């Protein structure tokens, strides 16, 4: 069922507006953003739709085709603590919007997400599309950067996930057939077009069949471990440092890392090694993409996947198996866990000429290892797309 049909069924009238925000993939640049690194990413042609109408009384009333529970709050009376359901992200976003802008109207809306949840950043997409709807009915136009920051703060401060701005930036700025190359330290970015000499590609998403939430994963602990490494390195080197939460791996020069890394506890060393090596890979990958070398970009994405498993130490058995299968499947340029690496899915850049055999071979091998996931595991092949703006 489409969100506009559900809207009609519930409210007995058609929605006034429809909006869409795409999901994202990040072949290179995983776990860089929360410590102010660089990322590369794309938006894909699947995402979140919302059908909505303004509500003059300031109430937000939402339902989602993917979740049972309907959610309702007043724009000026958002509960201060989260309720533990899918709409927490949107309550947090309402708070962040009303902290900056005077608004009076709410919305009634139906949300529809395509594809299973986990790994494509549906949370950022739902927040961005909701903020867009709420801003539209209130006739305000925050800048893209403001919308990104409201969404990030809703996740960090309301939901409690120490994420960065990778997801929102891809979903906002991306352009079809371009690669977003963003420096999260100063928000400068480039949209690098696919070089005409580049081999054709499509984006395959392999859903493990296991869904997840970041709030319940080790996501925050990994970020803290990395930040602890940065703090310790700054201290070893006699650098000036400030508050722990405001210290980032990006502050640590490469020479300092190389000189003192062996003093770090093993776990912190590995997190820092992931971050530093990913920083290098992102830069190499951006240049490979620029010159049309999708094979090199893909190879680097496979390396990034390896580092996520062995240095960042994430990945469920299902995701690791998918990653392994992808590395030896003909026609896949490269790929890795999509997103944080706690359940969810893997993404791959593939040569369209091999699409059928890739889907067949990966599925057969995966379901042989996890027969109980038959019916839950699925593959989707898609294209890059424009972001929200």
Provide the annotated active-site residues.
167
When asked if residue 301 is in the footprint of ligand GLA (CB under 6 A), the reply is no
- Residue with Cβ nearer ligand GLA (6 or 96): 96
- Residue with Cβ nearer ligand GLA (26 or 128): 26
Find residue 62's DSSP bridge partners.
Answer: 71, 109
When asked if residue 339 is in the footprint of ligand GLA (CB under 6 A), the reply is yes
Number of residues that bind ligand GLA (CB under 6 A): 12
- Residue with Cβ nearer ligand GLA (112 or 167): 167
CA 109 to chain centre: 23
- How far is it, in rounded angstroms, from Cα 388 to Cα 316? 31
- How far is it, in rounded angstroms, from Cα 381 to Cα 33? 26
Q: How many residues does the chain have?
A: 389
Q: Smallest distance from the beta carbon of 184 to ligand GLA, in angstroms?
A: 9
Q: Smallest distance from the beta carbon of 330 to ligand GLA, in angstroms?
A: 28
Q: How many beta carbons lie within 10 A of that of residue 103, not counting itself? A: 18
- How far is it, in rounded angstroms, from Cα 331 to Cα 309? 22
- Using CB under 6 A, which residues numbered 9 to 68 contact ligand GLA? 26, 30-31, 33-34
Q: Smallest distance from the beta carbon of 120 to ligand GLA, in angstroms?
A: 9
Collapsed DSSP state (helix, strand, coil) of residue 104: coil
State how far the alpha carbon of 108 is from the alpha carbons of 63, 72, 151, 287, in Å.
9, 9, 20, 45
Residue with tokens 């580092």: 307
Specify the DSSP class assigned to residue 230.
H
- Residue with Cβ nearer ligand GLA (42 or 73): 42
Q: Smallest distance from the beta carbon of 215 to ligand GLA, in angstroms?
A: 11
* DSSP secondary structure of 175-207: -TTEEEEEETTTTEEEEEEPPTTSPP-EEEEEE
Closest to 372 (Cα-Cα) out of 324, 321, 316, 318:
318
- Residue with Cβ nearer ligand GLA (107 or 319): 319
When asked if residue 230 is in the footprint of ligand GLA (CB under 6 A), the reply is no
Q: Smallest distance from the beta carbon of 164 to ligand GLA, in angstroms?
A: 4
- Residue with Cβ nearer ligand GLA (162 or 195): 162
Query: Residue of minimal CB distance from ligand GLA?
Result: 163
**Which residues lie closer than 8 Å to 31 by C-beta, 6 or more apart?**
222, 223, 226, 274, 275, 278, 308, 312, 340
Q: Smallest distance from the beta carbon of 257 to ligand GLA, in angstroms?
A: 20
Closest to 347 (Cα-Cα) out of 119, 167, 45:
119
Map residues 148-167 to x or -, x wherever contact with ligand GLA holds by CB under 6 A.
Answer: ---------------xx-xx
Q: Which of 210, 276, 340, 348 binds ligand GLA (CB under 6 A)?
A: 340
- Using CB under 6 A, which residues numbered 162 to 191 contact ligand GLA? 163-164, 166-167
Cβ atoms of residues 305 and 354 within 8 Å? no
Cβ atoms of residues 108 and 11 within 8 Å? yes
Q: Which of 121, 228, 304, 314 binds ligand GLA (CB under 6 A)?
A: 121
Q: Identify the helix (H) or strand (E) that includes residue 267.
A: helix 266-290
- Residue with Cβ nearer ligand GLA (209 or 344): 344
State how far the alpha carbon of 78 is from the alpha carbons of 103, 373, 381, in Å.
14, 39, 39
- Residue with Cβ nearer ligand GLA (106 or 339): 339
- How far is it, in rounded angstroms, from Cα 316 to Cα 340? 11
Q: Smallest distance from the beta carbon of 148 to ligand GLA, in angstroms?
A: 11
Q: Smallest distance from the beta carbon of 233 to ligand GLA, in angstroms?
A: 20
Contacting residues toward ligand GLA, per CB under 6 A: 26, 30-31, 33-34, 121, 163-164, 166-167, 339-340
């Amino acid at each position: 069922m489409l969100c506009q049909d559900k809207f009609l069924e519930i409210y007995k009238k058609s929605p006034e507006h429809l909006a869409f925000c795409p999901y994202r993939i990040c072949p290179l640049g995983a776990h860089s953003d929360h410590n102010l690194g660089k990322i590369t990413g794309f938006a894909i042609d699947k995402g979140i739709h919302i059908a909505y109408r303004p509500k003059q009384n300031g109430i937000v009333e939402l339902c989602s085709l993917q979740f049972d529970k309907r959610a309702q709050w007043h724009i000026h009376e958002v509960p201060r603590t989260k309720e533990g359901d899918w709409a927490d992200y949107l309550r947090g976003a309402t708070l962040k919007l009303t902290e900056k802008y005077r608004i009076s109207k709410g919305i009634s809306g139906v949300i529809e997400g395509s594809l299973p949840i986990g790994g494509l950043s549906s949370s950022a997409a739902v927040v961005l599309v909701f903020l867009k709807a709420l801003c539209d009915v209130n006739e305000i136009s925050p800048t893209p950067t403001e919308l990104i920051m409201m969404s990030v703060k809703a996740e960090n401060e309301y939901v409690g996930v120490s994420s960065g701005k990778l997801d929102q930036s891809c979903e906002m700025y991306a352009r079809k057939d371009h690669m977003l190359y963003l420096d999260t330290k100063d928000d400068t970015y480039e949209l690098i077009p696919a070089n005409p000499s580049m081999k054709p590609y499509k984006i395959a998403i392999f859903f493990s069949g296991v869904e997840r939430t970041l709030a319940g994963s080790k996501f925050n602990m990994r970020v803290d471990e990395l930040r602890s490494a940065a703090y310790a390195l700054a201290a070893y080197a006699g650098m000036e440092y400030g508050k722990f939460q405001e210290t980032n791996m990006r502050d640590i020069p490469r020479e300092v890392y190389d000189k003192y890394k062996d003093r770090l506890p093993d776990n912190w060393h590995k997190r820092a090694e992931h971050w530093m090596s990913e920083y290098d890979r992102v830069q190499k990958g951006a240049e490979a993409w620029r010159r049309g070398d999708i094979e090199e970009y893909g190879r680097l994405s496979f390396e990034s996947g390896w580092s996520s498993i062995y240095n960042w130490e994430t990945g469920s058995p299902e995701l690791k198996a998918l990653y392994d299968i992808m590395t030896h499947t003909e026609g896949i340029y490269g790929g890795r866990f999509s997103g944080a690496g706690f359940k969810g899915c893997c993404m791959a850049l593939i040569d369209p000429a091999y699409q059928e055999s890739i889907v067949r071979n990966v599925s057969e091998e995966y379901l042989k290892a996890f027969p109980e996931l038959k019916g839950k595991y699925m593959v989707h092949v898609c294209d890059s797309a424009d972001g929200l703006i």
